[in-house]
Amino acid sequence: MRDYPSGRILYHAAARLRAGELNYISLESALSDAGVISQIPFNWISLMSSGRSHVVDCGEYGHIEFVHTAQSPESLRAELTYDADCRLWRASVKQALRDMRVTRRNMDLINQEMLHELVG
């Protein structure tokens, strides 16, 4: 088995599972990494995908949640950066927050002070 950087195996698996789709790290995963959500999702990553919504159970490694988006790559261009460590695109805080609202996710854990610092 290949050596994967600690905590990146789910991201690498997600990139391989949906290689033919637009996928990007967003929602709670992106906001947690940016420090906007104080609680870090343990063994659960959330990505937006041009494919269908689905949760993949990866056993002891955790879960990969794909949430469908109809947004075009062109409309997202300014809000995504490539994360080479994860091998996936990553949403900006602004885009992740937008995705949270559009998908009607729970916003209770968002640190409004930190959000204001990052987004303005």
The per-residue pLDDT for range 67-118, each reduced to its tens digit, is 999 999 999 999 999 999 999 999 999 999 999 999 999 888 887 776 667 6
Which secondary-structure segment (H or E) carries 75? helix 73-76
CB 45 within 8 A of CB 14: yes
Domain assignment present for residue 4? The answer is no
Cβ atoms of residues 71 and 51 within 8 Å = no
Whether 50 maps to a domain, the answer reads yes
The pTM assigned to this predicted structure is 0.88
Assess whether pLDDT exceeds 90 at residue 21: yes
Q: In the chain, how many domains are there?
A: 1
Closest among 113, 64, 118, 72 to 96, alpha carbons compared: 118
Structure tokens at 87: 């091998």
Paired with 65 in beta bridges are 46, 55
C-alpha 28 chain-centroid distance: 7
Q: Is residue 1, in this structure, part of any structural domain at all? A: no
State which residues form the domain around 30.
9-119
